[in-house]
């Protein structure tokens, strides 16, 4: 069975997708959401193969949601939109397909065939997320998990990032959020001109750096404005100094 999510802030649009997907013996709807944040929480909790994703939604748009996904774990994306400009953007983003509202049953069936073909092929999926980020630009907001569920924080509020296997500890003022992401992917999303790697498993927000103190063998000690101390490896020192204009 192909596991599918429906994400659209309009109830009639969700109903249409639900009715037509239920007619397909090989599709199973495992989630239905009226907003991007709820969909992000659903995607974090369940495994899915394809997401029928509305482009324009309040709070968190479909493209913003796509940009927040971990590329290696991202499902296939079918963008659904009432705007030609967004449909063209979705096509350029290498989505499996896009549905331009109002679409008919024949157009919908062709989309499902493309989904089936893509799932059977070995074509890489990460390009959908990477190109979504290219379209939306670096993220000024970041989805993080809390005890109550996912919420958005400002990227500028992040002080440092520390990798731990396949997870990243996101440190803000007095809080730490744990994401199932790679440090490399998170740096691409947040912008490598704003967050710089200081060690193979750590990075900092450049604006949070208060001072640098030389240590032995080319290493430095970084003091953040919060008072936190981190080590800058000599391997990454040149990149940091370049970004800081030193």
Least confident range from 66-70, 140-144, 177-181, 227-231: namely 66-70
- In 3-state terms, what secondary structure has residue 235? helix
76 token code pair: 């296939």
**146 and 203, same domain (yes or no):** yes
**88 and 202, same domain (yes or no):** no
Residue that finishes a domain, picked among 85, 103, 136: 136
pLDDT band (50, 70, 90) for residue 16:
very high
Per residue in 20-76, pLDDT (tens digit) is 999 999 999 999 999 999 999 898 888 899 999 998 888 888 888 888 887 777 888
**130 and 146, same domain (yes or no):** no
Query: Would you state the pLDDT for residue 147?
Result: 84
**132 and 189, same domain (yes or no):** no
Place of tokens 């998170």: 186
Residue 245 predicted with pLDDT over 90: no
pLDDT band (50, 70, 90) for residue 124:
low
Whole domain around residue 32: which residue ranges?
A: 2-136
| DSSP-assigned letters across all residues of 53-88 | EES--SSS-HHHHHHHS-GGG--EEEEEES-HHHHH
Residue that finishes a domain, picked among 136, 171, 192: 136
| 185: CATH | 2.40.50.1020
Highest mean pLDDT among 124-128, 134-138, 193-197: 193-197
Q: Please, are residues 186 and 179 in contact by the beta-carbon 8 Å criterion?
A: yes
Instruction: Specify the pTM.
Output: 0.74
Per the structure, how many domains does the chain have? 2
**103 and 208, same domain (yes or no):** no
Q: Please, are residues 131 and 137 in contact by the beta-carbon 8 Å criterion?
A: no
**113 and 70, same domain (yes or no):** yes
**154 and 59, same domain (yes or no):** no
Query: Would you state the pLDDT for residue 106?
Result: 96
Nearest residue to 41 (alpha-carbon basis) of 133, 138, 152: 152
- 124-162 burial, b for 16+ CB within 10 Å, e for fewer? ebeebbbbbbeebebbebbbbbeeeebebbebeebbbbb
Mean pLDDT computed over every residue of the chain: 87
Query: Would you state the pLDDT for residue 93?
Result: 62
Residue 132 predicted with pLDDT over 70: no
The pLDDT of 89-100, averaged and rounded, is: 70
Residue that finishes a domain, picked among 136, 165, 197: 136
**Which residue did the predictor score with more confidence, 180 or 6?**
6
**Which residue did the predictor score with more confidence, 138 or 79?**
79
**160 and 105, same domain (yes or no):** no
Q: Please, are residues 31 and 39 in contact by the beta-carbon 8 Å criterion?
A: yes
**27 and 130, same domain (yes or no):** yes
**Which residue did the predictor score with more confidence, 125 or 56?**
56
Question: Burial level of 73, CB count in 10 A (0-12/13-18/19+)?
Answer: middle
The pLDDT of 207-223, averaged and rounded, is: 92
Per residue in 191-207, pLDDT (tens digit) is 888 999 999 999 999 99
Per residue in 149-172, pLDDT (tens digit) is 888 899 999 999 999 988 999 999
Residue 86 predicted with pLDDT over 70: no
67 token code pair: 């940009």
**110 and 215, same domain (yes or no):** no
Least confident range from 91-95, 123-127, 214-218, 224-228: namely 123-127
């Amino acid at each position: 069975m192909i596991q599918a999510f429906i994400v659209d802030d309009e109830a009639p649009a969700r109903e249409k997708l639900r009715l037509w997907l239920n007619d397909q013996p090989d599709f199973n709807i495992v989630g239905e959401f009226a907003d991007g944040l709820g969909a992000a929480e659903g995607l974090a909790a369940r495994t899915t193969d394809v997401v029928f994703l509305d482009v324009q939604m309040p709070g968190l748009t479909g493209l913003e949601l796509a940009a927040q996904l971990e590329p290696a774990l991202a499902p296939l994306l079918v963008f659904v939109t009432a705007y030609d400009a967004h449909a063209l953007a979705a096509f350029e983003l290498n989505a499996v397909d896009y549905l331009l509202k109002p679409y008919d049953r024949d157009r919908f069936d062709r989309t499902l065939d493309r989904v089936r073909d893509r799932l059977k092929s070995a074509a890489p999926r990460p390009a959908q997320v990477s190109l979504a980020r290219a379209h939306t630009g670096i993220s000024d907001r970041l989805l993080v998990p809390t005890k109550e569920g996912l919420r958005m924080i400002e990227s500028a509020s992040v002080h440092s990032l520390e990798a731990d296997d396949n997870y990243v500890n996101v440190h803000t003022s007095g809080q730490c959020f744990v994401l199932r992401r790679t440090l490399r992917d998170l740096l691409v999303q947040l912008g490598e001109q704003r967050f710089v790697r200081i060690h193979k498993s750590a990075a900092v927000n450049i604006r949070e750096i208060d001072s640098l103190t030389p240590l032995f063998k080319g290493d430095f000690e970084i003091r953040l404005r919060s008072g936190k101390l981190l080590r800058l490896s000599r391997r990454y020192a040149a990149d940091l100094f370049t970004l800081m204009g030193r």
